[in-house]
Amino acid sequence: MARRALTTTAATLTVTAALLLTACGGGGDKSSDDIKGADAGSSPSASASTSTPSGSERPDITIPSSFQLTFENWTSSDPDEQAVLNDGKEQLRAGYAAIIENKPDGGEALAFYDTEAGLSQDREWIKSYTGKNVTVIGELPVFDPQATLFAKKTKAQLRYCTDESKAQTKNRKTGEVVGNPAGTDPQVAYVVTMQKNEQGVWQTVSTNSKRGGCS
């Protein structure tokens, strides 16, 4: 019920597709529901969250108010680091939007923010929800971001944490709402590997997650 905590195998993320919504990656405990989302079939409303980072031709991404995906202290005084934070944020939003909109292929926005390898991984994560006919609802704070650039600022690593305490999945047909099992650590740490493409977009290559990895 958190961010798309995609691990190398989608199964690691969510056994029943509930909270984790991190990008694909390695690690991450199994939980009966690892995704936070919004009502199935719900369309963006005036209260929906829309964000477009500065830059060229970034896609618009809208998330319904039924899923509150918030980014705390998502800023850096370094413009290069801020660029990584901006695109990393939108990539995560694109993944959740795909789950909410029931798009197993991830949609155009996610393809914009993912490399080919990253998109393949994220599709596995998204299908762990769409394949079970569930969406995400509730609240998912994303916090403690740390961006590190290397390889002459062409590659980067983005770390952050999520708190799934108030995130759930909702069955599109039955309306059943499911959260993480009792006793599950709600905080999940993510490590996202990124690279800058020729258009200057920081794309996700892979994502690893670890439940309980936040301090």
Location of structure tokens 């590997």:
193
Q: Cα(164)–Cα(190) distance, rounded to whole angstroms?
A: 13
What is the per-residue pLDDT for 51?
Answer: 57
For helices 79-100 and 116-130, give the axis angle rounded to 10 degrees. Answer: 40
What is the per-residue pLDDT for 6?
Answer: 47
Q: What is the C-alpha R_g of the chain?
A: 15
CATH class of 10-211: alpha beta
Location of structure tokens 């292929």:
105
Q: Cα(106)–Cα(170) distance, rounded to whole angstroms?
A: 19
Which residues, including other chains, have CB under 8 Å from residue 146's CB and lie 6 or more apart? Answer: 158, 159, 160
Which residues, including other chains, have CB under 8 Å from residue 50's CB and lie 6 or more apart? Answer: 44, 60, 61, 62, 63
Q: 62: closest CA among 108, 104, 21, 2?
A: 108
13 backbone dihedrals φ, ψ, rounded to 5°: -65, -60
In contact, 182 and 161? CB cutoff 8 Å = no
In order along its 215 residues, the chain shows pLDDT tens digits of 544 444 433 333 333 333 444 333 334 443 333 433 222 333 333 334 555 555 568 999 999 999 999 999 999 999 999 999 999 999 999 999 999 999 999 999 999 999 999 999 999 999 999 999 999 999 999 999 999 999 999 999 999 999 999 999 999 999 999 999 999 999 999 999 999 999 999 999 999 999 998 97
- Boundaries of every domain in the chain: 10-211
Which residues, including other chains, have CB under 8 Å from residue 215's CB and lie 6 or more apart? Answer: none
Q: In the chain, which residue ranges form alpha helices assigned H by DSSP?
A: 10-13, 79-100, 107-113, 116-130
121 backbone dihedrals φ, ψ, rounded to 5°: -70, -45
57 backbone dihedrals φ, ψ, rounded to 5°: 55, 35
In contact, 91 and 121? CB cutoff 8 Å = no
HSE (side-chain half, CA atoms, 13 Å) at 207: 38
Q: Cα(135)–Cα(199) distance, rounded to whole angstroms?
A: 32
